[in-house]
Chains A and B, each alone.
Chain A
């Protein structure tokens, strides 16, 4: 049984890295993803959605920052379930990090686990310095904000 399930597990875990699929997020996974203890390097968790134009600005900036400094890891979370339109929107930014979309859990429970103070506005960005520090930014971010929060230079 165990032997048969191992490949299944790796298939699930490798999902965001291997294919266009988005890993579905539930409340427990969201809580873990947004915990500073989960990030041992400078990491940005960027929330976006298909109907958020301001999110494109952030994704574009993060794409260029990740290219100029490979110590920055960018994880994206689509604040909506996976659909055919998500990947074409995200693909142009060529962000190599894991990508998530809302799973079948109550969307409000997922949002609460991500950030109990989040009212749903997008974009929302969580910046981790990899040493336990965490900053939250609502709206459009700047290079200076990312440098200050992560300790990296671009």
Chain B
């Protein structure tokens, strides 16, 4: 249920570049003269994928000022012409940490959420559109009532079996109030809004927690007893960017906010790495996250059991020193983690599958690219696990996992 150069060639040019570089070197500006490079365009590849109840693969991605839905009935081999979610164009965030999300409500409605950034940096609103037939979407609604030009971004969408839909996001209204009253406030906050009618309407938003990190994706899952779970990077005093998790009560309020990781990465900065959480059929919470521990930035896996010992069961590193942006899913007694990892030349897509609840894993090399790429996503179709990856050069790709 989780939503989730151009270069000039020729001897003459080469000679002029060498001559030019020589001149600049004598002026002490060797490092500043970088001819022949092409300007990049923001590759906004942030994409989400989900299997529809009929087994087809649906992908939500930005195209200009529209979120588009792409469909494949053959596991990504061929794609239908895309259809627009929002009829009226608007700005849409689609970098890896802040991408459009796609999910099905319990009543079968197709839901697509996204962050609509305002022209002022770091501001935006959380939007959602619903389609009863999977084709035609209602006009998007803003899921929060706050209309301030501030951060309401990085939403996570969770759909529940009772047709509730919960969106939780990073919200800076408390930070802005603190600034106005010249008081200190760590980080941002997590706010949530609940729909009880499959995403047709939302109740007024409310705060789940103070002091979240400002620019990392938020993750969600359903706990063993059906309670909604949200997990995010937090800022523990004074500046430890570990993770927090909360369970929601039946009325949607936060039961308690617990520290979920204990790596103690102290940094006054933006990590741009959010966690991923899943609860398996046995009710065990499995998470992957990025942190710096002992001075080294790594992706970690662990089981978030409540032990009171400030330790994470089975915590281990995932991939090598360049592993990043891992995603996790569970189904059919298996657990799968996928991530990307730059090897010095190319970006590798890798995965690990566990058949024993995360105690041991089998590594799998899936693909690589030499261009820009989105984060890896792991998705399920009933008991089958897949990795979905969008790359600038190769497009959408789906990899069945063993």
Contact = CB atoms under 8 A, between A and B. Distances in A.
A111 B324 CA distance: 13
Interface in B277-302: 290, 292, 296-297
The A contact surface, by secondary structure, is mixed
B250 interface: no
A54 interface: yes
B181 interface: no
Nearest to A50: B121
Given A81-B40, A121-B272, A138-B269, A75 B122 contact: no
Contacts of A81: 39-43
Contact of B121 (A1, A85, A101, A112): A85
B28 A41 contact: yes
Interface in A1-51: 1-2, 5-6, 9-10, 12-13, 16, 23-26, 29, 32-33, 35, 38-41, 49-51
B342 A120 contact: no
B270 A9 contact: no
Interface stretch (B30-38, B57-65, B140-148): B30-38
Given A2-B15, A13-B35, A102-B40, A117 B270 contact: no
A112 B342 contact: yes
Interface in B327-361: 340, 342, 344-347
A121 B292 CA distance: 10
Nearest to A80: B42
Given A103-B5, A121-B269, A51 B321 contact: no
Interface residues of B, number: 55
B29 to A, nearest CB: 8
Interface residues of A, number: 61
A105 interface: yes
Nearest to A99: B32
Contacts of B122: 51, 53
Given A2-B12, A5-B13, A119-B324, A106 B372 contact: yes
B31 A39 contact: yes
Contacts of B99: none
B273 interface: yes
Contacts of B34: 12-13, 23-26, 29, 32-33, 100
A108 interface: yes
A122 interface: yes
Contact of A12 (B30, B35, B239): B35
Interface of A: 1-2, 5-6, 9-10, 12-13, 16, 23-26, 29, 32-33, 35, 38-41, 49-55, 57, 75, 80-83, 85, 89, 98, 100-109, 111-112, 116-124, 138-140
Which 5 A-B pairs have CB atoms at the shortest separation, nearest pair first?
A38-B31, A119-B297, A81-B40, A1-B12, A29-B34
